[in-house]
Every structure is written in C-alpha cells, then in structure tokens.
Amino acid sequence: MGCIGVDKITEYLCDPLQRCLKHDDPYVHKTAAICVAKLYDINAGLLEGRGFLEALKDLISDNNPMVVANAVAALAEIQENSSRPILEIASHTLSKLLTALNECTDLTLWNLPGGALSLLDWLYVANADDAREAENIVERVTPRLQHANCEVVLSVVKMILQQMELNPRFSMLPYGTYLIVQRKPTILAHEIKVFFCKYNDPIYVKMEKIEIMIKLASDQSIDQVLLEFKEYATEVDADFVRKAVRAIGCCAIKLERAAERCFSVLLELIKIKVNYVVQEAIIVIKDIFRRYPNTHESIIATLCESLDTLDEPETKASMIWIIGEYAERIDNADELLESFLESFPEEPAQVQLQLLSTTVKLFLKQPTEGPQ
C-alpha cells in the first residue's frame, strides 16, 4: 500500500501503520519501517505530526537485527529528502547499531540494498568520542572484511579509514586491504604472513597480495618476503612470475640495506634460464641500477650472456641502457651494441630511442671504439 504513491491513501494508512510499528512480529515491524519511508515521500508533514519518526528511532533498540537494519535504512532514505538531521548518532545509539551489526549473520540480510549496509553507512558518519571508542568500532566491523559481498567490504574499508582519520593514535587491526595499507602501512607491519599467497588463490588475489607485501616489507621481514617471492617466481603462471620478479626489484629500491639480498635472489632466478624470468629480471635490475648507481656491477657479465634470447621491447631497452651506463666496465660494449643496431629499422620506437641515447653515451665514453 505504501508503494502506491497516492496522497489520499496516506491518511487511511496512518492508523494501521502505527499499529504495525508496535506489532510483536519482527517481519511486520521491518516491513512497517520501510513503509514509513515510502509514505514520508508522499506527505512528510502528516507523518511527522503523527510521531512516525520517533517510532522509527525506537525500532533501533529492537532485539531483531533485521528490524534494526530496516529502521536504519528507512531513516537513511528519509534523511536524503530532509534538510535537517533526522538521527543523531550518540554513544548509546552507536552501541545499539554495533550490536545489531554483529547480529547480522544472515547472508540475505547483508545482501539486501536496504539491509545491514545501511548500518555501515550510518557508522561511517558516526564520530567516535575518543580513540578507545574508535578502536571498538573498528574491531566490531573488521570481521566483515572477509564478507563475500564486495559492497560490504568496501563499506567497511571506508568506515575504517574514516575512524583512522579521526583518531590516528589507535592501531588495532587484525586484517586489512591494500587501501588501508596505502594509508597506514605500519598498522599491518606485523601481519605480513596473512598475505602470503595460497596455491588456490585466484590470480587477481595473488597479484593484490604481492602489492600489499611490497608495501609491508621492512628490514625485519625482508628475508621472509624474498623467500616467498622467489618461490612465486618458479610458478607456471607467467604473469604471476613476472609480478613476483618485479616485486623483488621494488623491495630492493624501497629498502637500501636489503638491496644486496634482493640482487642475490635475482641472480639465482637468472641462472634458472627461464626466458621470461630472465627478461623480467633485466628490467628490474635496470631500475635498481638507476636507484643505486655504480653498485652490484658483477651481475652485468651474467646479463650479457642472455642477449641472444631477448625479444621484448622493454627488456631490450633496459639491456641497452645498462650497456651504455656501464660501457667503460664492459670490454666489448661496442660489439654488444652493434648486435642491436643490426635490426634498428625493425625495432619499436622505445628500443630505437634507447639505442640512439646509448650510442651517444658510448661515443662520449669511448670515442675511438664506439660503433660507426
């Protein structure tokens, strides 16, 4: 009846609606709550005069989480059409919402557009009085980060970040996501093992876990992280392997004291002689050389052994850059560069530009030995 949307029907619905809001059956309760929001769109003044808003607020104290969720959803819908605040989230109200949230165990309830998601929306705008209360809020909602509904997860992440912004001193989080790690990486620094990849993880989950591990890697955990990345680099999925190799390079760039260990792992991977692993490692090593010039030069001879197998533009450009940058330390730098120049017309622009730049470098460093 509330969905009919005819103003004349509103007055006839008020009395039965008031009775339904006080009914003992939870299903009647939660349906009546949604009806109040529908009728508010038709005749807001009439409903306010009959005390329906207060009745909705009283439903927040109901023992049934379905009723609470629908009451909050109704209040949220009314708030969108009202110029004044409808519900103030005081401490006692906040406690009731959190209690209802923890009782929302039914999957269908969480998947309803007007269900428990509305509870998270209201918690998002709630301002905790102090760090202890903010910590309590986050602790109560954090288990929902593992929910199957992506809307629930995103709402929880948004709410957690909000509380962290308002109360930067608290740091109690057993789980996390990449968004949280970006904002507060130190919070999950001791939980890095949680993000180690499992064999049955979907590939997109594995990729995201690697990103999080890079963010969380520290001097204390780098040995564990490198062992994981080295293992990932021997998997069968080429994209996953490339991601793992690049992650090793990111750790070397991020942690100067761990750069030597990262180089050792890369060298071990190169010696396996898997083509796409070698090519990815060359790209990574070029970035490390740029970050730490004139270091780890002993690996260059090993890289030069793989020139004949390079067929990817980014890898070729990286190897050419290394030759030009360390030409004075490579005995046959001119010969190596000539091997690339033979196919200059067919090379992509990325490789051609790097060849031009490296040729100039070689001429300046070895004017009598460079390619003619």
204-245 per-position pLDDT tens digit: 888 888 988 898 888 888 999 999 999 999 898 999 999 999
What pTM, to 2 d.p., does this model score? 0.54
Distance (Å) of CA 215 to CA 22, 180, 221, 241 = 53, 11, 11, 18
Task: Summarize pLDDT for 113-149 with one digit per residue, the tens.
Answer: 444 455 666 665 566 666 677 777 777 777 777 666 6
To which H or E segment does residue 76 belong?
helix 65-80
Q: Give the Cα separation of 262 and 248 in Å (integer).
A: 6
Residue 103 has pLDDT above 70, yes or no: no
The answer to whether residues 47 and 54 touch, using CB atoms and an 8 Å cutoff, is: no
Q: How confident is the model at residue 87 (pLDDT cuts 50, 70, 90)?
A: low
What are the CB-based long-range contacts (under 8 Å, 24+) for 195-199? 196/228, 197/228, 197/232
Calculate mean pLDDT across residues 25-50. 76
Residue 111 has a pLDDT of: 39
Q: How confident is the model at residue 112 (pLDDT cuts 50, 70, 90)?
A: very low
Q: How confident is the model at residue 284 (pLDDT cuts 50, 70, 90)?
A: very high
Burial class from Cβ neighbours inside 10 Å (0-12, 13-18, 19+) for residue 90 reads: exposed
Q: How confident is the model at residue 174 (pLDDT cuts 50, 70, 90)?
A: very low
Residue 185 has pLDDT above 80, yes or no: no
Question: Any idea which fold 1-91 has?
Answer: Leucine-rich Repeat Variant (1.25.10)
Residue 2 has a pLDDT of: 55
